[in-house]
Chain A
Amino acid sequence: MNIDNGKQQLILGEAAKIRQGLSGKLRDQIATTVYQEVEEITQQVVTKERPQKDWDRLFDRWVTSKLLGYPLMLALLSLVFWLTITGANYPSAWLAKMFFGFQEVLSGWFRSVGSPEWLHGFLVLGVYRSLAWVVSVMLPPMAIFFPLFTFLEDLGYLPRVAFNMDRLFKKAGAHGKQVLTMCMGFGCNAAGVIACRIIESPREKLIAILTNNFVPCNGRFPTLFAMAAVFMGALVVGYNSAMGAFLVAGIVLLGIIITLLVSWGLSKTLLKGEPSNFTLELPSYRVPKVGSLIIRSVLDRTLFVLMRAVIVAAPAGGIVWIMANIGIGDQSLLAHIAGFLDGFGRLIGLDGYILLAFLLGLPANEIVVPILIMSYLAGGSLMELDSLAALQRLLLDNGWTPLTALNMMLFSLLHFPCATTLLTIRKETKSTKWTLLAAIIPTVIAIVVCFLVATVARLWG
């Protein structure tokens, strides 16, 4: 079936001619006819048996109300985080104990076969240890967070969130459906960027793509959770996980505010235009099926993301170990680079090692904290790192203050997207310019925000 150009032109020409002879807009007339037919059929087929309480509408009156909508969203978000932090603590500690117990066994084997020290260092202290960290830090929170999130998704709550947020996004000159793409971003920013396809207008789609990164993905959640625990643990006597949950919720909220601000900025400068209207369907609430929910969220999301992290973490761990053990002069390569970055890092309330960890973590955000820990461990005395308390000690030993932890969270929230997300943006936009902007905008914001926070904190003393 080949329609040559001549035929195409002929047909299109004729079509255009006939179209011009028509009065009124054809599409509208067609729509009207279809809707008439829809109405006719519905009237004959659907009967309301008995007037019944419409629970959905009743719920929606509260869930999407101006007064309660936002507080409820915040409360649910905090609840999900609280359950995640509280629930993940024990299995995390347990997994870490197991993995690091096994590390001893591994080391024993290496010694007994007389393997060279560098091989043991590379494989056990580098590759194995970072893998152990990734699994024990990431698996428990994800195994709790994803099913909870899928639960809200299956319940039908997410479209209500989009409904609530629509007003704000419209004010920012963006599309209300952007919220749905942000929800996907909670799972993975690359998936969030792909989800932006549901937005019809190219302008609003680009805004959604460029700002998706401000929603922390699951690769960054473990960082946020760990930092919240460290931060609150060091700052507040009588720390409890509820405070940690509020802190993480606050960070997410900040991400949303930044999203709105950047969307607004873009729609006033690079991507000028009016927000388009759309109809958003609020589907019925449905009680999710717990069995399939758990299977799906564990298989499709948790294990998928974990595998990705493991694949990236293994080589990264090895590379960091090598960098930490190749000496130039009296210092290791790692220390040299960190030293080079240190001045700038301190200026924005971080340090050289943290910046280096973020740079090395470009392939996947999951490995930022493991790399950081490896770097610190390589520098100092070797220690068992089997709990958050131990992590806190390690960080304090390396000169961390609550400010460092807070800025670490902020930088993690706001900095450049991971390589996978950037590649996805390149694929979706087919433009190097927008891809670069998607990396530059967040990074600049991250640096500015961290600098401001650090400066204010310093002035305060």
Chain B
Amino acid sequence: MGLTNQSTGLMAFLNDLQQEAYQKAEGLVALAGNPNTGKSTLFNALTGLRQHTGNWPGKTVTLAQGIVDCQGKKLMAVDLPGTYSLLANSVDEQVARDFLYLAKPAVTIVVVDATCLERNLNLLLQILELTPRVILCLNLVDEVTKKGLQVDKAKLAELLGIPVVATIARENQGVLELKETIRQALDGKIKFNYQCKSYSPEIEEAIQQLEEILKSQLPEDLNTRWLALRLLEGEESLLTANGGRSE
């Protein structure tokens, strides 16, 4: 009896995904990002008119979903609510977090406002801890120069160990490159090399202890480090949410 799925209707959403168009799609792509980054504009540019907004029972998750055509490969894209973090303070944050954790998208595109990278990186790093398969989308790059700034895309990709694509979603620029990158990621041609930051020795030891227990008790495909951190923070609903999945 997961509190999470009941309170957000996420499970119903996932079931719906699996039953319907998702079966025809060849993979799942999630779009995450802060509010006001042009995330939904990018989503529209990616999916065109092949989308609909789904309303699911429970506390109702409203997530837009649509099909992205990546050079012949049809993927299901889901537009997650715009959030500043994955701390699950609000329903929106909880939905975004649980979706990434439970639906395990093949690739997650994190859309950031390139003009205020610093503010946006917080969410990106939180997502990277949860899933390494992230493509960073530097949106609104046209405004960067207007503001007298410069963002070193190559350096960013190097530091994070993930692909970075620059876009101007409003003008459809960079969307093709983004699709190509998604395709390459799905074909296994891209290495995702993000190295999670270590916390203090004390915390790392605690993580290790708990991870051992988790690994012995839970199925293999879970991100135990992330789960351990959340459990240590006291986020117990994540564990129960998991159990609710097959019930």
Q: Which residues of A contact B (CB under 8 A)?
A: 1-4, 7-8, 10-12, 14-15, 18-19, 21-23, 26-27, 29-30, 33-39, 41-42, 44-52, 54, 156, 194, 197-200, 279, 281, 283-284, 289, 427-428
Across the interface, which residues of A come within 8 angstroms of B59, CB to CB? 428
Contact of B231 among A15, A27, A33, A284 (CB under 8 A): A15
Give bound CA distance, A329 to B59, whole Å.
51
Q: Is the CB of A3 within 8 A of B243?
A: yes
Across the interface, which residues of A come within 8 angstroms of B228, CB to CB? 15
Give bound CA distance, A39 to B145, whole Å.
21
Give bound CA distance, A27 to B243, whole Å.
25
Give bound CA distance, A54 to B60, whole Å.
40
Q: Is the CB of B243 within 8 A of A42?
A: no
The answer to whether B240 has its CB under 8 Å from any CB of chain A is: yes
Q: Is the CB of A42 within 8 A of B118?
A: yes
Given contacts A15-B231, A283-B36, A289-B170, contact A37 B155 (CB under 8 A): no
Q: Is the CB of B213 within 8 A of A14?
A: yes
20 more contacts with CB within 8 A, not counting A14-B213, A26-B229, are A4-B243, A18-B209, A19-B206, A22-B206, A27-B233, A34-B197, A35-B122, A37-B125, A42-B117, A44-B152, A45-B155, A46-B152, A47-B149, A47-B150, A48-B149, A197-B91, A199-B90, A283-B36, A284-B115, A284-B143
Contact of B90 among A11, A197, A283 (CB under 8 A): A197
**B63: shortest Cβ distance to chain A, in Å?**
13
**A420: shortest Cβ distance to chain B, in Å?**
14
Q: List 22 A-B contacts (CB under 8 A).
A: A1-B219, A1-B245, A8-B243, A11-B214, A15-B210, A26-B233, A34-B197, A35-B122, A37-B125, A38-B122, A39-B118, A42-B117, A42-B121, A46-B152, A47-B150, A48-B149, A197-B92, A198-B90, A198-B92, A283-B35, A283-B36, A283-B113
Contact of B148 among A36, A38, A49, A281 (CB under 8 A): A49
The answer to whether B70 has its CB under 8 Å from any CB of chain A is: no
Given contacts A35-B122, A200-B90, contact A427 B60 (CB under 8 A): yes
Give bound CA distance, A444 to B240, whole Å.
44
**B185: shortest Cβ distance to chain A, in Å?**
21
Across the interface, which residues of A come within 8 angstroms of B19, CB to CB? none
Across the interface, which residues of A come within 8 angstroms of B210, CB to CB? 14-15, 18
Across the interface, which residues of B come within 8 angstroms of A42, CB to CB? 117-118, 121
Q: Is the CB of B245 within 8 A of A29?
A: no
Closest chain B residue to A289, Cβ basis: B170
Q: What is the 8 Å Cβ interface bit string for chain B, positions 190-224, against chain A (1 contact, 0 not)? A: 00000001011011001001100110011100000
Closest chain B residue to A5, Cβ basis: B243
- Give the total number of A-B pairs whose CB atoms are below 8 A apart: 145
The answer to whether B173 has its CB under 8 Å from any CB of chain A is: no
Q: What is the 8 Å Cβ interface bit string for chain B, positions 236-247, against chain A (1 contact, 0 not)? A: 100110110111
**A123: shortest Cβ distance to chain B, in Å?**
34
Across the interface, which residues of A come within 8 angstroms of B113, CB to CB? 283-284
Q: Is the CB of A21 within 8 A of B206?
A: yes
Give bound CA distance, A30 to B147, whole Å.
32
Give bound CA distance, A149 to B91, whole Å.
27
Contact of A15 among B117, B119, B159, B232 (CB under 8 A): B232
Across the interface, which residues of B come within 8 angstroms of A4, CB to CB? 243
**A186: shortest Cβ distance to chain B, in Å?**
19
Across the interface, which residues of B come within 8 angstroms of A21, CB to CB? 206
Give bound CA distance, A22 to B205, whole Å.
10
Given contacts A1-B219, A33-B197, A54-B147, contact A19 B232 (CB under 8 A): yes
Contact of B232 among A3, A18, A51, A281 (CB under 8 A): A18
The answer to whether B103 has its CB under 8 Å from any CB of chain A is: no
Q: Which residues of B contact A (CB under 8 A)?
A: 34-36, 59-60, 84, 87, 89-92, 113, 115, 117-119, 121-122, 125-126, 143, 145, 147-152, 155-156, 159-160, 170, 197, 199-200, 202-203, 206, 209-210, 213-214, 217-219, 228-229, 231-234, 236, 239-240, 242-243, 245-247
Q: Is the CB of B209 within 8 A of A2?
A: no
Across the interface, which residues of B come within 8 angstroms of A38, CB to CB? 118, 121-122, 125
Q: Is the CB of A200 within 8 A of B89?
A: yes
**B115: shortest Cβ distance to chain A, in Å?**
6
Closest chain B residue to A38, Cβ basis: B121
Q: Is the CB of A11 within 8 A of B151?
A: no
**A32: shortest Cβ distance to chain B, in Å?**
9
Give bound CA distance, A30 to B149, whole Å.
29
Given contacts A7-B217, A15-B210, A19-B232, contact A29 B246 (CB under 8 A): no
Give bound CA distance, A33 to B122, whole Å.
10
Give bound CA distance, A30 to B225, whole Å.
13
Given contacts A8-B240, A18-B232, A281-B119, contact A45 B159 (CB under 8 A): yes
Give bound CA distance, A200 to B83, whole Å.
12
Closest chain A residue to B90, Cβ basis: A200
Across the interface, which residues of B come within 8 angstroms of A2, CB to CB? 243, 245-247
Across the interface, which residues of A come within 8 angstroms of B34, CB to CB? 281
Across the interface, which residues of A come within 8 angstroms of B247, CB to CB? 2
Give bound CA distance, A11 to B87, whole Å.
21
Give bound CA distance, A156 to B36, whole Å.
9
Give bound CA distance, A12 to B170, whole Å.
46
Closest chain A residue to B234, Cβ basis: A19
**A58: shortest Cβ distance to chain B, in Å?**
13
Closest chain B residue to A21, Cβ basis: B206
